[in-house]
Structure 1
Amino acid sequence: MGVKGWLLLLCTAIYVAECDDTVGEPVLENKVHSHIDLPLPDDHDVGHRREGNVFPESTSVPPQGSAVFNGQTEGSGGGRKVSVTEISFDSAIDDLVWCGNDHSIVLLKTQNGRLYRSVDGGKQWTEITHLFQGSSRSESYRVDSIVLSEADKNVVVIIGEGKHHYVSGNAAKSFVPLGYDASINMYLFHPSRPSWALLSSWEGSCFTADNDEDCVHSIFVTRDMGRTFSRVSKYVAQFSWGDMKAKSEDRIYFSKYSLESGDQPKQDGWNNNINFLYTDDFGSNQNIIMEGGNKFLVSGNYVFVAKVSDSVKQTVNLYVSTDNAKTFRRAVLPVELEERSYTILDTSEGAVVIHVGHDYEGGEVEVGNVYISDASGLRYSLSLPNNIRSASGECEFDKVYSLEGVYIANFRDDSGGVLNPRNKFKTHIDGTKSQIDEKRHRHVAHNKVEPLIRSVVSFNKGAEWHYLQPPKVDSEGKPYDCEEGKCFLHLHGITQYKNFAPFYSVENATGLVLATGNVGDRLRFDASQVNTFLSRDGGLTWTEAHKGAFIYEFGDYGGLIVMAEDQRKTKEVVFSWNEGASWFDFNLSKHDLSVNNIVIEPKCSSLNFILYGNRNGVGVAFHLDFSALGQPVCKGMWNADSTSSDYETWRPTDPHGNKCLLGRKLVYKRRKQASECFNGKEFKAAVDREVCVCTPDDYECEIGFTRAVGSNICRIDGTWLMKEGCTSSSIFWTEAYRKIPGDVCTAGWYPPPVAVPCPPHSPLSKGSKMVITTILVLSFIMMAIVYISNNDKLKHVFHNYGFKQFSYVAYAPVNSKRQAQRGGSFGGRFEPELGFIDAEQEQDEPTLLNYLNGSRAAGASQSGTKPEPQQIELL
């Protein structure tokens, strides 16, 4: 699967956007070459361009019903070959889907709605559009989309642009008509039963004025592989199957309008009249779970629902269930900001990571806060503020899929440009209106100030973040020219995928990450400043793989990397079989093309790639077979690290040098970088696990506390939840740390409680109220006395009682210094010292106390005795 093929799977969003009658409404949803260090034996000019006019310059559309096969090229050099086969299609390539038990069958759809099939991984193609409605009508039939069952990769549904649709149970070898003869908006297979599916359709007068029926969005269910369908419900906004992990996969969740009459309203915002329901009997009984529940996501043991809070302000609250939607509780966030949208980023390893959009107004880029939950999925602490997002909910936040608990993200750094690890996170979000460039070759103007976007990495599931360390030198061996303290690596994320390939990893390529970006003080959007980078250790350290922005793909479980430029037309492919230690290149053909993507079968285990793009308006695909290089299969997995083995052991490490991640020490076996061999199809990555002793890295901040980038100390962010009975002159004891969900460490360091000053807006204590009342009364009495003593009619009263001199008394502020009896007498004017700053702390000033050194003394929790507190900084 290619980089851009993964992009639609990276972020699952609860989001509301406009949608027309034909499009489903959104659901809640997860060149200068570098040096060549290891030349190929015999010949490193791997791919010679073919001589003669083998690749015709003609841009004509291929004959109807068949692809154009222009032959096969083999660049030879002493027996070293990369086999290249070029195929042209009727129009640009729109989609590629791998199907079949071994992923050897590929389906390809073009923008003209033609469908092609390959049985050899994309080397040879046959158009199969004529299978639909018979060859006599193949010209008029257009394919809209290909839907594959995850439960059985042989079951495929072809959705047509009109009313005719087809299903296959043998990986598209043959088809039968689907038993539904109307336009299909969405087709959703059951997660474990390939013959079950849900489909949605806009019915009635949605597409024609001749129909008197109401225009409504309905869902239907089939349990016989599409032969028959029955209606589940009408006026539906969103629908989904349950989840296998929760053993509720046969349940149907959906949200629908409460008023079932007239045309269904177009959902262009959060709506109080939409409710969240479920059915366990395919619609016979529909049970309301939550009124006002507009959008939802079912993920593992969690059910998330966005419930309308204020339809006028367009705000919502997030509710979470962990018991199959029997009970829901509102998610607790540490900030009092309006919640407008959610993106569920991750629900693995026992915790929930969400992105919350708080506002939409102002700013240069769209941002939101990333929060991470405790084990219950209900209490969320701030992990990363100002995370970059797109207007449609995709977030520049991604897992390193081959490692546990490792994230890479981009955020708008509001520290003002100074990279100081003690800078605090700002929790207030200046809402934004995204102006993301949708043109592939458009560059940022040189006179435009680019937003301060920076990249960070976390090795403990978002509990702690670090700026990316840049390579020491670039791919040409030259040091980077950037200011010390502002020299970091910054990578492009998913919101810029039409311009630059985002950071990319796959589960089967251990520790490997590819990305495009730049070294400097911030992320740059000028293509001339963007290069391609590679990490072999999960994002800890990086090397510049190539100058320029490339599109890329992994093969052979990470043993092979294939790239091509995608910022300009090219005919060149570069590849590395030693994880970037050296790069080799060859030409695809004599003629340049615009490369759209490089893709591979879903497991990334093959040596066969498909590179596709456009040339003069015609879709072109190249099948690249690297098995022709003749490399042997790697040996010695059982005795890794020995000189006779092609494998080594590798231990992931965080920026502190800690080899324990999420409480476990992981030891992977992977191919040595210098080994000239391929892992092969049968390769299985081996990993050993060892439980570690707990350290502060195994803990994240509790609600109300945050860590600055580069720091592992949790400090108050000013938004903590006030304890009951807290008064402005007192403190309360609380936990600043909590164990990261999914962390398995034992014993070792345990976070002590911290003493926190009650917020200034807290109620006054009884003692404080008495003191203030006494001061006010005394002040009033003194003012009355002074007034009376200076009144000509009343001052004789004071004279009679010995208070004659009282009228000459002057008053100064408490703790102020007299200026050497300036004026010479009590009757002189008092002039306080201007600009006086006391270097000592006021005795009654709030002090934040914490215990950060050492572990809790034995028995402290039982006796209540607290060790000598140490002062820490209050942000």
Structure 2
Amino acid sequence: MAGDVYISEDEGKNWDIVDGIPREEAVMLIEHPFDNCIAFVLTRSTRHYKTADRGRTWRSFDVPTAPALSFSGAILAFHAEPAKSGYILYRGLKCERHRWWEPIKCHEETFFTKDGFAGESKLLLRDTSDCIFAHSSKDFSYTGHSDLIFCQAFEGGTQEPHSTENSRLFSSSDFFNEDIHVVDFGLSGRLSRGVMAMGVVSKFLVVALHNLSEGSIGELVLYVTVDSKNWTKAHFPRASNVTLHERSYTILESTTHSLAIDVQFHTSRNIGTLFVSNSNGTYFVEALRDTHRSDAGYVDFEDLVNIDGVGFANYIPNAREVDAGTANLKLKTVMTYDDGSSWSPIKPPTRDMHERPYGCDTNDITKCSLHLHSVSDPHNIGRVFSSTAPGFVLGVGSVSEYLFPYEQSDTYFSRDGGATWKQVGHGTHKYEFGDQGNIMVIVNDEDYDNHIRYSIDSGVSWQKFDIGVKLRAMLLTTIPDSTSQKFVLLGLVGRGQGEGDKRYVIVHLDFAGMRTRQCEGDDLEKWYAPGTNGKEYIMAHRVRIYYHKNVGH
């Protein structure tokens, strides 16, 4: 099935190969982020495919160049305004040889469409690295032209070799027809050159460029704007000695209150420091030292969905020894209730799911707390911990002084945003939420197994269900907003158990028949986000009040 696209119109129960797309040609499926009826299938050629009716029908469209698949960054960039869902930018790769004895040279070209590729796409700009609409996030607001586009591109034309000094940031409000500007960030001359990356994060547009001033050591500087007009250099605390280098920092998922950036300081690529900004993203304070980063730059940090200010992070308590190469890396998990201003260990359950005590004193939270595997050690699709149901959190980890390896961990659940926890599974599991948290499913992902476990009472009790096939779980998922009562489990069966050499199976789980009625007023309870102590205001902000199904009804 490599290169084929399948569709299910009954939430994963039945699957059919789509009509209108040739077999074995698809390399990428891209959903429109602002219109859930539209999706695109890209191939390696200049002909691609689009659906505008949730995959029922597909039509082909042609573009001048093949997609820039071998380069980092998104191939398609979208406009966030509902009325302009057809405004799309396409990154293509053009390769040519100017003289027969010269090697083939490739460069990127960006094209645009205003009608979702219904007509001919037009050239936006040559020799680009990345282009985005300023209005590519619903949170990024500004008073300028709604069609404003920013492009990271090279000066000098495609004949000239690319260098740091000829990489600039350009802007245009008429698709680079007549209105073309070079963004200078308030700098003079060559200092505004050396643009390395850009992106919209929440309400912030961030650009990284090489410091080309005299005496610099090739470090990066960040410039931030919240209105697309006024750019300000990001300032880090002097005491932290921050020096940004290419691939040494990660801009994290951020709230509209602040921008979060993790910076690698140490020799080890796995050790960073988390910084959080003020409201306009320009002044940063140190939030957490010695954060854990993967080799690829993924940081063990995640905010909880729909709960302001609450998040998890993993840090390395023996970072100095790890950096010196004299010790193996250890991890601890901490939580914040105030957007990273303060952190504390996670209070563990006092006993495991079999009412047995843990191997450490749970009253001493400094040496015995709950630690969780996070982003750098992915084991679940999508968000690592939380669901769209406020306060419901599942995770794999250990009650110990330091985080145990994944294969030695267990599965834990909290229904109050991490304030209290209970063990709900022995060993590691994949997990998923449905029906806004009223249904939770976990499945063993350590060994081959023929059953799943589920809860329909907010995690108070868990039932075992035989799925009729013994498999090794690879993926457990449902629709993205977790409102469905149906799940899809993808697994691998043992050798000789499948048809021929086919070992992958899909199991459809349907819990719709187990719900007898919709929730009513008596099923709900008032619940305050953790860390607020029942107060209506905290840090001058009104505290959200969330409601859960009352498990006593």
Structure-2 residue corresponding to 1:190: 79
Instruction: Using CA pairs under 8 Å that are at least 6 residues apart, name the structure with larger relative contact order, 1 or 2.
Output: 1
Alignment match, 1:368:
272
Q: Which one of the candidate residues 354, 374, 395 is aligned to 2:261?
A: 354
Do 1:491 and 1:503's aligned partners in 2 also have CA atoms closer than 8 Å? no
Question: For 1:85-110, what per-residue CA distance to the aligned partner results, in whole angstroms no more than 9, with x for missing partners?
Answer: xxxxx4xxxxxxxxxxxxxxxxxxxx
- Tell whether the 8 Å contact from 1:512 to 1:535 is kept in structure 2 after alignment: yes
Distance in 2 of aligned mates of 1:225 and 1:472: 56
Residue in structure 2 matched with residue 456 of structure 1 by the alignment: 334
The 8 Å contact of residues 172 and 180 in structure 2, kept in 1 or not, is answered as: yes
C-alpha deviation, 1:152, in angstroms: 2.0
Matched residue, 2:475: 597
- Partner-residue secondary structure (3-state), 2:513: helix
Q: Which residue of 2 is the match for residue 609 of structure 1?
A: 487
Which of 123, 129, 140 in structure 2 is aligned with 1:231? 123
| Letter matched to residue 182 of structure 1 | T
Letter matched to residue 159 of structure 1? L
Using the alignment, how far apart are the partners of 1:157 and 1:210 within structure 2? 38
What is the 5 A alignment of 1:34-183?
Answer: 90=1, 112-128=2-18, 130-132=19-21, 138-139=22-23, 141-180=24-63, 182-183=65-66
Q: Partner amino acid for 1:329?
A: K
In structure 2, the residue matched to 1:253 is 150
CA distance, structure 1, for counterparts of residue 383 and residue 50 of structure 2: 34
The AA in structure 1 aligned to 2:339 is K
How much identity, in percent, do the aligned residues show?
Answer: 23
Root-mean-square deviation (CA, aligned residues, Å) is 2.9
TM-score normalised by structure 1 residue count: 0.55
* Structure 1 residues 564 and 503: CA distance shift in structure 2, 3 A: same
Moved more, 168-177 or 467-476: 168-177
**CA distance in structure 2 between the partners assigned to 1:314 and 1:431 by the alignment:** 25
Q: Structure 2 stretches of 5 or more lacking a match?
A: 69-74, 184-191, 496-501
Instruction: Pick the aligned partner of 1:280 from 162, 173, 176.
Output: 173
Q: 1:145 touches 1:160 (CA, 8 Å); kept in 2?
A: yes
| Alpha-carbon shift at residue 621 of structure 1 (Å) | 1.4
Corresponding residue of 1:633 = 518
Deviation at 1:229, TM superposition (A): 0.9
Kept in 1: contact 2:381–2:477 (CA 8 A): no
Q: Aligned partners of 1:500, 1:474: CA distance in 2, in Å?
A: 26
Residues 462-516 of structure 1: CA distance to partner in whole angstroms, max 9, x if unpaired?
111101111100111011111544111110011101599974112x312111110
After superposition, residues 204-219 of structure 1 pair within 5 angstroms as 204-205=95-96, 214-219=105-110
**8 Å Cα contact 1:501/1:515 also seen in 2:** no
Which sections of structure 1, spanning at least 5 residues, go unmatched? 1-89, 91-111, 133-137, 418-428, 433-447, 638-644, 676-875
Q: Give the stretch that moved more between structures: 311-320 or 404-413.
A: 311-320
Pairs within 5 Å for 1:577-588 = 577-588=456-467
Query: Per-residue CA shift, 1:301-340, capped at 9, x if unaligned?
Result: 4221111126995521112223313433343334223212
Aligned to 2:309: 405
Please state whether the residue corresponding to 1:539 is helix, strand or coil.
coil
Equivalent-residue separation in structure 2 for 1:471 and 1:381 (angstroms): 33
Asked whether 1:316 is paired with 2:220, we answer yes
1: CA distance between counterparts of 2:279 and 2:39?
A: 38
Shift of 1:346: 4.1
The answer to whether the aligner puts 1:651 opposite 2:528 as a matched pair is: yes
8 Å contact from structure 1 (residues 355, 368) kept in 2: yes
Q: Is the 8 A contact 2:251 2:261 kept in 1?
A: yes
Which of 277, 290, 303 is equivalent to 2:205?
303
Aligned-partner SS, 1:628: helix
SS at match of 1:319: strand
User: What secondary structure is seen at the aligned counterpart in 2 of 1:477?
Assistant: coil
- Does residue 670 of structure 1 match 2:548? yes
Amino acid at match of 1:242: A
TM-score under structure 2 length normalisation: 0.85
1:362-403 per-residue CA deviation (whole Å, 9 max, x = no partner) reads: 3xx612111111233211111101111123222111101131
Separation of aligned partners in 1, 2:369 and 2:346? 6
Alignment of 1:552 with 2:428, yes or no, is no
* Structure 1 pair 253–492 and aligned structure 2 pair: CA distance change class (3 A): same
Partner of 1:620: 505
Aligned residues: 513
Match of 1:6 in 2: none
Distance 1:652 1:151, change over 3 A: closer
Summarize the Cα distance change of 1:404–1:614 in structure 2 as closer, same or farther, 3 Å threshold.
same
Change (3 A) 1:571 1:286: farther
